[in-house]
Amino acid sequence: MPNNIGVVGDRESVLAFRMLGFDVHFATEAKEARRIIDKLAEKNYGVVYLTEQLAELIPETIRRYDAKMTPAVILIPNHAGSRGIGKKRVQENVEKAVGQNIL
């Protein structure tokens, strides 16, 4: 089964990824983003890069895929800069596993 790499985000930020051969989808609203991610997950995508701006709108959808092996939903900043959500998620993982933040 082929596993593809998808990118979801606003047009300004993610269009460039098309050049790398990633599968780029545009979304600006929560509903749209949710629909695209669900569709990608169904289609056996291995990795989905999602901009933090959208991730902020749909935390419950992301959490749903956290426990599954695929797809790996990975947050990336967009052109306006990072909002620290991706880093926060790493820290949350540490706190969940270790009990306190050791980083």
Partner 1 sequence: MAKLNVNPTRMELSNLKDRLSLASRGHKLLKDKQDELMRRFITLIRQNNELRIEVEDKLEKAMQSFAMAKSLLHENFIEELMAVPSQSVNLNIDQKNIMSVRVPQMHFQYNENADDLEDLSYGYLNSNGELDLTFQYLIEVMPDMLQLAEIEKTCQLMADEIEKTRRRVNALEFMTIPQLEETIYFIQMKLDEAERASITRLMKVKDMG
Rounded distance between C-alpha atoms, residue 22 and residue 49, angstroms: 10
Name which position in 32, 47, 57, 64 contacts partner 1 (CB under 8 A).
47
Distance of CA 25 to the CA centre of its chain: 12
Binding residues with partner 1: total (CB under 8 A): 39
Residue 101 touching partner 1 (CB under 8 A) = no
Cα–Cα distance list, 25 to 34, 40, 91 (Å): 12, 10, 28
If binding is defined by CB under 8 A, does position 97 make contact with partner 1? yes
- Based on the shown chain and the rule CB under 8 A, indicate whether residue 67 belongs to the binding site for partner 1: yes
Applying CB under 8 A, which part among 28-36, 42-50, 53-61 lies near partner 1?
A: 42-50
